[in-house]
Structure 1
């Protein structure tokens, strides 16, 4: 008989079997979306020299409005370091090295004529507020050898920009997890195909493949198998041939007579009842080759919730991501909700953000359309006391 376990126990059993993927070197420009497996330290100071933060004029010890002789013109990228004495200025563009003798930058808008004021002389209308005005000093952002990005984070465009600016061209990352999605059920037909009585469109592979891709994974196989025969075992073989790290089955794991995953993969997977609603029946295992196997319920909402709780953390753990979950927040529930003493409920909700000071979570309908309308899951913990309208609950954002 299936065991009855808590959500945390089932997740712990899953994560215990996850062996992170081997890291690989990748050029910074090709690493967006991947998980950094080693910390990145700056190769250079950022900025690498005192540079101008404004287009304007580099001046020396100027404490009052004055007319100055322009002695140089300094575009970004120049290596010139002209002398600048009192009564002199160097026209300078943003990012250009500040002359060693200069103590401040006067923006164009604080001069008479601005950029069009000529290269012979400039009249400063507003003196700098003090030494260092509008100068970005060497190493003021990052010093050589300092940490730029820690390991275990997913590389965004902004993080990659910081890495490149620190003079690092190659990073150590995980490749994307490879996922195979297999729907089970003799009643399933491809979406858009004609249906006879008793048949339904197959949608779980689209749903689960999309959730996997949103988690950062790569889909290597989408398939559907019937309720009889050894379809699940053949699907695993095809998935492993395609390089899959994870195979996700939907359907075939409950207590019916035609539970094909449960009936054919008992030597590879354990099947439990988890104290959750929806998604009570769950299967998990691992092949001799190390491929992780998930058996999720066939109901689309149950499958989606199960994916969020168990498969998504496994995908992220495989890639070495330090953050296995999603953002959570406390939000008022728009309507009362009956609690269940023996199980935690995961309720698809739509977040109303019209009042920035008080977001409200409204449960959507129970079916696939309601799931499509949801942008979060409200968590209703086991309790003898029902949740009242307006009470704060934890919501995981999608």
Structure 2
């Protein structure tokens, strides 16, 4: 089977992905989920014209000639607090003291900030000319009754959750999360709770993949380690196929003891590809079950496994959860050094980011071997070197696919 390009492989994966069903969750549990239905307002907000400032509600016609040299005196006839309805209409030559958020009384069309006034007994002096309509929030400025305020497909952030609370959405319709199982394979692996054996390799893949799922808001199930034994492997894979998504790392190459491929074939999995033209991570497999489940056969090397998760598994999972944006954000940066490469495969170079007066700088994390897990621990992004490239030069502009939450960028001096 020929190697697929990264773009073609991702397109093939997404072709077989569908959104999960709609479920309703409690308001607080909806954070970082995706709305599965439009949400409409259940009232106008504000429910009437309200003051945007502490000050005085006035008729603009009474004060349009005001200046610093010629203040206007108005009689204060009411004192309106937030949550309290006005008691009287404001007539010519009158004003009402008003608090932020309080409803404006009948007759007024402007609010003067308290800083632009001076109290004088039962009167107020207006010292500064405002614009007509100043400092009044009109009815429905924020939400209009029965109008859609949040659309299907909206990612629920704290700000979105605040709107949901404002429209009294105690139960929120969201797309369900997929169930995910994680399996590592190989006689050479040592489980986290097993004694240290110098002749074995600690299983980092399961825990890295679990963490990557967790970062997406998914609690994956760890199935442990399957030895290179066809019967044990089959039993573990059958267990994993009960989930929406099975992530099996290791054993997908063509070695004499790599049984994952043949076992998946025997279990009736339709395999869509086995190789991708990328580095690290080319021994990547993807298949589907008759029931609509999906299987990713990830490489055994931990860096390769994590890179493949970022490029293929994460977009698939986010698509299942209803996200419109399923791939990592990218930024433009300059390379701080030459980067040698060879044609034939797209290369995902792990980099750290810094910033100077010209913008971002991308610097390799060092040795880029697929077994150098530290390169993923310190990486802030991937520079994707195209498969036709033979290398890049210092100062070249590159696209960096971000790995970390770049909302927090103090280390870059932003």
Secondary structure of 1:247's partner?
A: strand
Tell me the alpha carbon deviations over residues 182-233 of structure 1, each in whole angstroms, 9 at most, x when there is no partner: 1112222234754223212111111111111212322233422212233443
Say if 2:346 is the partner of 1:344: yes
Once superposed, what is the RMSD of the aligned Cα atoms?
2.3
Distance in 2 (CA, whole Å) between partners of 1:368 and 1:299 is: 9
Give 2:400's aligned residue.
395
What is the match of residue 135 of structure 2? 134
Aligned to 1:17: 16
Kindly indicate whether residue 118 of structure 2 is the aligned counterpart of residue 112 of structure 1.
Answer: yes
How far has the Cα of 1:149 moved from its partner?
A: 2.4
Measured in 2, the distance between the counterparts of 1:167 and 1:69 equals 41
Partner of 2:297: 295
CA distance in 2 between counterparts of 1:380 and 1:122 reads 73
TM-score normalised per structure 2: 0.86
Q: What's the CA shift string for 1:266-313, capped at 9, x where partnerless?
A: 242525221111100111112333321111101111111100111011
Report if the CA contact (8 A) 2:117-2:128 is conserved.
no
**Contact 2:353/2:380 (CA < 8 Å) preserved in 1?**
yes
Look up the match of 2:382: 377
Verify the 8 A CA contact 2:76 2:124 in the aligned structure 1: no
Counterparts in 2 of 1:306 and 1:166: CA distance versus 1, 3 Å: same
Query: Is contact 1:7-1:276 (8 Å) kept?
Result: yes
**Correspondence for 1:307 among 306, 309, 323:** 309
Q: Report the count of equivalent residues.
A: 389
Conservation of the 8 A alpha-carbon contact between 2:20 and 2:177: no
Q: Is the CA contact 1:51–1:96 (under 8 Å) kept in the aligned structure 2?
A: yes
Counterpart in 2 of 1:223?
224
Residues 78 and 86 in structure 2, CA contact (< 8 A), matched pair in contact too: no
Q: Distance in 2 between matches of 1:397 and 1:134?
A: 42
Instruction: Please report how far the alpha carbon of residue 373 of structure 1 lies from its aligned counterpart in structure 2 after TM superposition.
Output: 0.7
Distance 1:231 1:57, change over 3 A: farther
Superposed counterparts of 1:225-374, under 5 Å: 225-239=226-240, 244-267=243-266, 268=269, 270=271, 271-355=273-357, 357-365=358-366, 366=368, 367-374=372-379
Per the TM alignment, residue 354 of structure 1 is displaced from its structure 2 partner at its CA by: 4.3
**Residue 27 of structure 1, CA deviation:** 4.3
| C-alpha distance in structure 2 between counterparts of 1:315 and 1:9, whole Å | 18
**Which whole-Å CA distance do the structure 1 matches of 2:217 and 2:245 have between them?**
13
Structure 1 gap ranges (5+): none
SS in 2 for 1:273: coil
Q: What secondary structure is seen at the aligned counterpart in 2 of 1:235? A: helix
Change (3 A) 1:238 1:67: farther
TM (normalized to structure 1)?
0.90
Q: Gapped runs of 5+ residues in structure 2?
A: 404-414
Structure 2 residue corresponding to 1:72, chosen from 78, 83, 92: 78
